[in-house]
């Protein structure tokens, strides 16, 4: 597999989206978030999306350069509209608005609707946490994203409805939870197809409701994802429903019921200033103590140490900044094709 530096992929992606019609600053936001997905080990939400994004820009499903506007607001809330732009831009703008309000009022809730794919959801709470805030993000997808069956069912009814929570880490990268409320993100199945690998058992059903490990059953044959939790899948199902309440009903994006001709990753953000509840010194002391307590947990002989939420992403980021980012051959072939179409220079592999 070809291997690239993060900087070269960032430049490639920024140039690509600028050529596709986004202003340079917005193209840079998209490029940064895509590469961060690859760096953190979430390749399913990284630069592999250049070809499908370009197809949707050309079809008009993604409106490159569309404005992100505030529909209504108070001192602590805002409802925003992305007017069909790529979600990386609209969700970043919404996070910035929420942080600005939280600086003044200690807490803010901001919803943005009419935005296309937001990519790795954890990128937005992580952004807030790096500025000293706690943040919760909910994202849904309406009828266009129906791939998940409710607990006990055998019919596509819901989206993967991810959620993410982040807190500042006095010792380094943010504490971060970033999960789909389904057993896994649907793009994991696309990645498995690229790699010629089966899915792990207990995650997907085929179109008739039978257990399957063939990713093509989900992507090509109308199979379905199970909710997060296996035998306790009612927990993931319940979380997914609550995401629809936040993003779909409060945020106005529409719930799983809505017929959606285009993808609308309705995003609802809650941003909190920790200093409204606890002084900075106490927060740093308590957060550090909790982290060390959890990391000191005894593990079975030969097993790796317990990791904190967000440590997986942090370790991957450090390692890949040094060793580079590998791209599967089918992914790189697709990227090369659209780079040529857009007359954007290819990055040079580092090895």
More reliable by pLDDT, 180 or 260: 180
* Residue 96: how many other CB atoms lie within 10 Å: 17
Number of domains in the chain: 1
Q: What is the mean pLDDT of the chain?
A: 96
What share of the chain in percent tops pLDDT 70? 100
* Cβ-based burial of 76 (10 A; exposed 0-12, middle 13-18, buried ≥19): middle
Q: Judge whether residue 179 has pLDDT over 80.
A: yes
Distance of CA 107 to the CA centre of its chain: 23
Using the structure block, give the residue that is written with the tokens 């790699």.
Answer: 195
Residue 249 lies in a domain: no
Average pLDDT over residues 84-98: 98
How far is the C-alpha of 336 from the C-alpha of 205, rounded, in Å? 34
Summarised one tens digit per residue, pLDDT across range 129-153 is 999 999 999 999 988 889 999 999 9
* Residue with tokens 């103590």, as numbered in its chain: 289
Classify the C-alpha dihedral 249-251-252-256 as positive or negative: negative
Q: Give the pLDDT confidence score for residue 93 in this predicted structure.
A: 98
Query: Which of 195, 194, 193 lies closest to 204, judged by CA?
Result: 193
| Domain coverage including residue 42 | 1-65+310-351
Residue at 6 is within a domain: yes
Confidence of residue 308 (pLDDT cuts 50, 70, 90): very high
pLDDT tens for each residue of 193-224: 888 899 989 999 999 999 999 999 999 999 99
Q: What's the predicted TM-score (pTM) here?
A: 0.95
pLDDT at 291 over 90: yes
Specify burial of residue 279 (Cβ count, 10 A radius: 0-12, 13-18, 19+).
exposed
Question: Helix, strand, or coil here: 23?
Answer: coil
Could you write out the DSSP letters of every residue in 222-290? --EEPBTTGGGHHHHHHHHHHHIIIIIIISSS--TTS--SS----EEEEEE-GGGTS-HHHHHHHHHHH
Strand order in the sheet with 224-225: 211-212, 204-205, 224-225
Ramachandran class of 180: left when φ > 0, alpha when ψ lies in -120 to 50, beta otherwise: beta
Identify the helix (H) or strand (E) that includes residue 165.
strand 163-169
Task: Give the mean model confidence (pLDDT) for residues 38-60.
Answer: 97
Residue 30 lies in a domain: yes
Coil/strand/helix, residue 142: helix
Residue 250, domain member (yes or no): no
The mean pLDDT value for 312-330 works out to 96
Token pair, residue 146, equals 């129906």
Question: Cα Rg for the chain, rounded, in angstroms?
Answer: 20
List beta partners, residue 270: 109, 136
Within a domain: 186: no
Is pLDDT above 70 for 335? Answer: yes
Q: Is 15 within the bounds of a domain?
A: yes
pLDDT at position 259 is 81
Give residue 95's pLDDT band: very low, low, confident or very high (50, 70, 90): very high
Given a cut of 70, whether residue 351 has pLDDT beyond it is no
Q: What is the pLDDT of residue 284?
A: 98
CA pair distance 238, 90, nearest whole angstrom: 27
Is residue 26, in this structure, part of any structural domain at all? yes
At 323 the pLDDT is: 96
What was the pLDDT predicted at 154? 95
Q: Residue 269 pairs with which residues in a beta bridge?
A: 110, 137
Picking from 218, 237, 216, the residue whose alpha carbon sits closest to that of residue 228 is 237
Q: If you write DSSP's letter for every residue of 303-329 in order, what string do you get? A: PPPP--TTHHHHHHHHHHHHH-EE--H
pLDDT band at residue 1 using 50, 70 and 90 as cut-offs? confident
* Structural domain includes residue 202: no
69-90: pLDDT as tens digits: 999 999 999 999 999 999 999 9
Query: 187 falls in which pLDDT band (50, 70, 90)?
Result: confident
Residue 318 Cα distances to 39, 40, 123, 172, 313, angstroms = 8, 9, 16, 12, 9
CATH code for the domain in which residue 54 is found: 1.10.1530.10
User: Which ranges constitute the DSSP H helices of the chain?
Assistant: 6-19, 24-39, 50-59, 87-105, 123-130, 186-195, 215-219, 233-243, 280-295, 311-323, 329-342
Q: How far is CA 64 from the centre of its chain?
A: 20
């Amino acid at each position: 597999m070809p291997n690239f530096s993060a900087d070269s992929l960032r430049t490639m992606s920024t140039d690509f989206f600028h050529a596709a019609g986004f202003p340079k600053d917005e193209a840079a936001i998209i490029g940064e978030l895509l590469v961060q997905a690859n760096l953190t080990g979430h390749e399913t939400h990284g630069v592999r999306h250049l070809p499908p994004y370009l197809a949707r820009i050309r079809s008009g499903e993604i409106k490159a350069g569309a404005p992100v506007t505030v529909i209504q607001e108070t001192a602590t809330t805002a409802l925003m509209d992305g007017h069909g732009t790529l979600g990386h831009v609209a969700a970043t703008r919404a996070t910035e608005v929420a942080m600005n309000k939280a600086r003044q009022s200690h807490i803010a809730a901001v919803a943005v609707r009419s935005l296309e794919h937001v990519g790795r959801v954890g990128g937005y709470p992580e952004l807030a946490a790096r500025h000293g805030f706690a943040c919760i993000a909910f994202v849904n997808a309406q009828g266009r994203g129906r791939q998940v069956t409710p607990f006990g069912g055998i019919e596509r009814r819901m989206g993967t409805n991810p959620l993410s929570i982040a807190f500042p880490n006095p010792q380094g990268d943010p504490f971060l939870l970033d999960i789909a409320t389904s057993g896994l993100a649907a793009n994991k199945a696309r990645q498995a197809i690229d790699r010629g690998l089966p899915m792990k058992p207990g995650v997907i059903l085929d179109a008739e409701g039978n257990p399957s490990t063939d990713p093509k059953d989900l992507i090509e044959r109308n199979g379905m994802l199970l909710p997060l939790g296996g035998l306790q899948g009612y927990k993931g199902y319940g979380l997914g429903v609550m995401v629809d309440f936040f993003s779909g009903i409060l945020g106005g994006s529409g719930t799983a019921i809505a017929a959606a001709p285009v993808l609308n990753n309705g995003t609802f953000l809650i941003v909190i200033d920790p200093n409204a509840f606890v002084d900075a010194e106490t927060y740093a002391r308590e957060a550090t103590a909790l982290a060390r307590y959890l990391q000191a947990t005894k593990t079975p002989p030969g097993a790796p140490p317990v990791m904190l939420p967000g440590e997986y992403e942090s370790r991957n980021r450090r390692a890949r900044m040094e060793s580079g980012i590998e791209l599967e051959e089918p992914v790189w072939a697709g990227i090369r094709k659209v780079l040529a179409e857009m007359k954007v220079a290819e990055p040079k592999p580092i090895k």
